[in-house]
Amino acid sequence: MTNIDKDACRDAYNEVRDDNSDTNWAVFQYEGSRIVPTMKGTEFKEFSKLCVEDGRLFGYMRFMTGDAMSKRTKFTLITWIGEGVGGLQRAKISTDKTLVKEIVQNFAKEFMLSEQRDLDEDSIRMELMKAGGANYDAQAE
């Protein structure tokens, strides 16, 4: 049975949410049957390198969205299951996500990805913009 290091994961989650922090993402991964925060960073490219074919992880990420009139911070939860992950581990991640969501509660949109080509920063940002509110740039034309 999987369990989660609630305190350590909550600290990483809060660091991503903190406006005074440079940390834009945190990764939660399996250490045996335990989910723990393993890495944090600032650049999307750093995060995407962790999403490997035989890997599975949960990523919590901050994006700046909006337009000239209104900048907004949006958060997303990305569940990565690489193409090389076996069926049992693949099935388990769906139930284990419930543990992660007990801590990671605030996000505009959730993604479940398994191919590197889907891990596109601009596409994710566009989806987050669609998920949240007014876009004043559309009125400028």
Sign of CA dihedral 41, 45, 49, 53: positive
Q: Is residue 47 part of a domain?
A: yes
Domain total of the chain: 1
Question: pTM of this prediction?
Answer: 0.90
Q: Is residue 140 part of a domain?
A: no
Q: Which of 17, 56, 74, 71 is nearest to 40 (CA)?
A: 17
Q: What is the pLDDT of residue 67?
A: 72
Range of the domain at 101: 3-132
Q: How confident is the model at residue 134 (pLDDT cuts 50, 70, 90)?
A: low
Reported as a single tens digit per residue, the pLDDT across 67-84 is: 777 788 999 999 999 999
Contact call for residues 89 and 56 (beta carbons, < 8 A) = yes
Which CATH number do you get for residue 7?
3.40.20.10
DSSP line for 88-127 = HHHHHHHHHHHHHHHH----SEEEEE-SGGG--HHHHHHH
